[in-house]
Amino acid sequence: MSKPLRLIVLIGLVVIIGYFLKEAVFSDDAYLATIKKERLAKNQSFKSSSSPLAEANRATFDSLSYYAINRKFQVDADYELVPNPDTLKLPMTTGTTEPYLRFAKATFNLEGQRVGLTLFLKVGAADSTFFVPFTDKTNSSETYEGGRFMDIPKPEPGEKLITIDFNKAYNPFCVFNYDYSCPIPPAENRLPLEVPAGEKSYAKK
């Protein structure tokens, strides 16, 4: 290969690499902006009449506490439907139970471990998202002792992957107001590791 041709090839490679790096940076920036916007909107909603906070606490509410956004905790998981979905009566914080359908399983690698979560659908509800209650090793220290929740969009039929984004993990409403009754995460969704992503514990004022 002649020198001019090698130079052209090298320049072409540099341009291609630069393009993909730019696309990756743009993708990260767009993702960060989306999460920040969602968090800001939630903070605003907590000051409104639809807030789970008692009316007396809304005036002093400033912001929810979050971990820094980290794409390491946005993972692509193997998605598998449960062959014969059964109903699990999830215990509630008020001592009652509510029926949820074990619909699918998500299996993924996180912090060097192979772990999984059961994806639930509330019986009788026409939800477009899965309900995923879970616990992890940050509970009681940095996050709510009873675990956190995620709402995950259902994949299209035939899809084999599903995105699990722990940056969107949130506290149940009973954290903010004991008048609410919240599902308690089942044993099958207890993650044996720390997941420092999403909402932290709420400091009542």
Phi first, then psi: give them for residue 139, nearest 5 degrees. -60, 140
Mean pLDDT confidence for 103-112: 98
Query: How do residues 81-103 score in pLDDT, each as one tens digit?
Result: 999 999 999 999 999 999 999 99
User: Would you state the structure tokens that stand for residue 24, as one six-digit string?
Assistant: 């990756």
Mean pLDDT confidence for 31-57: 95
Helix, strand, coil in percent for the chain, rounding step 5: 30, 30, 40
Q: What is the pLDDT of residue 1?
A: 61
Whether 117 shows a pLDDT value over 90: the answer reads: yes
For residue 18, what is the DSSP state?
Answer: H
Q: What is the pTM of this model?
A: 0.85
Whether 136 shows a pLDDT value over 60: the answer reads: yes
Q: What is the pLDDT of residue 111?
A: 96
Of 117, 144, 128, 125, nearest to 199 by C-alpha is 144
Element of type H or E holding 29: helix 3-45
